[in-house]
Structure 1
């Protein structure tokens, strides 16, 4: 019986590891800089920098790439709040692609 439980635990662990690997490979991996090509991006205004929790992107002009902005010291940017917060209140959020991309 112990051998069956051990095999089931191993199979569950392997299954969870494969699921996590699939999720990570399908996750958006860009820095999140929007191209500011839509009015919706201008209306929203600020977007998460996916590579730097202390920074965010700001769309101010249609068809002009966003500017990189920094949070004040001791703060991180939370996209769900569209604001910088103290680290005690900061929570990781899943990266998402911007509405439009910067032309390369």
Structure 2
């Protein structure tokens, strides 16, 4: 009985911690679903300072691109700069995110 309560408390604590983390896997990839995203064109990658996303066509997934080895993507100027000119800036989510299609599971008739 006590072990079941302990397991339940651990699971609840884990769920609360996960909820507080938001989406830890989000990389800043825009959905390229708005005209604004096409106008801006490039968005920083949230986890890799050399990487960025490029929106070229409305409704088409953004492409992943990398700066040269000696450069990092600077969001304020929207281009790759030498690493010694790069400064950290807060991340800002793009106007939209990629659409995730979740496959429907078959429904079984329970009788």
1:44 is the counterpart of 2:43: no
* Alignment partner of 1:89 out of 82, 85, 90: 85
Cα 1:95–1:26 change in 2 (3 A) is farther
Mapping of 1:65-76 within 5 angstroms? 65-76=61-72
Where does structure 2 lack aligned partners over 5 or more consecutive residues?
A: 1-19, 101-111
Larger radius of gyration: 2
Residue by residue, what CA displacement relative to the aligned partner does 1:27-79 show, whole Å, maximum 9, x if unpaired? 98521000000011001100000111001000001011100011012100011
SS in 2 for 1:96: coil
User: Runs of at least 4 residues of structure 1 off by over 6 A?
Assistant: 25-28
Q: Which residue of 1 aligns with 2:54?
A: 58
Supply the distance in 2 between the matched residues of 1:36 and 1:90 (Cα, whole angstroms): 26
| Backbone CA RMSD of aligned residues | 1.7
- Aligned-partner Cα distance in 1 for 2:96–2:52: 16
